[in-house]
Amino acid sequence: MKANYGYKDGSGEFFITIDTDKCNSCGDCAKVCPPKVIVMITNDYDEVVPAVAEEHRKKIKYDCAPCKPISGPRNLPCVAACKPTAIVHSW
């Protein structure tokens, strides 16, 4: 399942896509996320997978901003930590 968390508003499109079919449930992404945007949940199909925490869903543009410098390399901790490359940011 490709779970897209985020929103689209007047300022752009902000989505974090988690491919639960690629995910190996290791939980490394949640451990390295500084503001705890990414947390591990048990979804409706009883898979233990990462998700964007409810309280961050409508403001990931701001909550993820510290990991995204305007210039220079963007080594997003969650993306870098995911060995099966299951996490993608849209912006």
Binding stretches for another protein (CB under 8 A): 1-5, 7-10, 13, 15, 43-45, 57-58
Q: Which residue has the tokens 């949940």?
A: 41
Q: How far is the CB of 19 from another protein (least distance, A)?
A: 9
| Residue partners of 28: CB distance under 8 A and separation at least 6 | 81, 82, 83
Question: Smaller CB distance to another protein: residue 43 or 69?
Answer: 43
Helix (H) or strand (E) holding 32: helix 28-32
Q: How far is the CB of 1 from another protein (least distance, A)?
A: 5
In eight-state DSSP terms, residue 63 is H
Question: Smaller CB distance to another protein: residue 1 or 80?
Answer: 1
